Amino acid sequence: MVFCVNTALFFSTVALLCFQKMPCLASKSLRLFYRFIRPRYFRILKIVRSSFHILGKYGLSSIGATSVDFSVFQVALAAFFLPAVQATVLGRCAGTLVAFWMHRRWVFRHSNATNWWALRVKYGSGVLLGMGLNVSGVWLLHDLSGWSPWPARIAAALACWFLLFLFNRYVVFQTTAEQQPRNQRI
């Protein structure tokens, strides 16, 4: 990121030095740069920074929810002697409650939602999508392929993590600016 900014500053300095002998061309080039290219560059840079920031927070909250998920999974396997698929469902439910609370309050800062039913339905559909992906992955890797329960569970969880991030970001916790078309004014 810093390399890109330094490169842009270097080339703008070189352009200034080259255009000293042709001031009319230099002024037109600088006007073009400051009017069209520079605002778009900083807008894109801001979007990239905020996306990585949200992805990092989502990752940290997912680590917390996954630790709850895997703890319940292990307890269900060891203490209650449940099969791997049923233990996956229990662990996923416990992890989902932790994840929803953290995503709503901290990651996407959507705690003042006015339409709770819509938020619950959207998040519930994401939970069902994630649970379906996790359970089918554990079933495929553990029951059909013969993997032990833990590697099957970890592989299934990693496979659906990024897909669920996109679903939560753009469907469940969508901000009002993202919901409206770009060409319309309020």
Task: Say if 62 falls within a structural domain.
Answer: yes
| Mean pLDDT computed over every residue of the chain | 77
Could you tell me the pLDDT band of residue 25, with boundaries at 50, 70 and 90?
low
DSSP 148-176: -HHHHHHHHHHHHHHHHHHHIIIIIS--H
- Whether 30 is in a domain gets the answer no
What percentage of the chain has pLDDT greater than the value 90? 18
Q: Where are the alpha helices (DSSP H) in 19-112?
A: 23-32, 38-78, 84-102
- Domain membership flag for residue 14: no
Asked if residue 78 belongs to a domain, the reply is yes
Residue 144 Cα distances to 130, 147, 153, angstroms: 20, 8, 14
pLDDT band per the 50, 70, 90 thresholds, residue 15: low
What per-residue confidence (pLDDT) applies to 33? 62
Q: Is residue 25 part of a domain?
A: no
pTM listed for this prediction: 0.59
Residue 16 lies in a domain: no
Q: Tokens 């801001």 — which residue? A: 46
Number of domains observed in the structure of the chain: 1
Give the domain extent around 87: 41-174
Give pLDDT tens digits for 102-129.
988 888 877 666 677 888 888 889 888 9
Residue with tokens 């439910």: 93
Q: Is residue 23 part of a domain?
A: no
Would 145 be classed as within a structural domain? yes
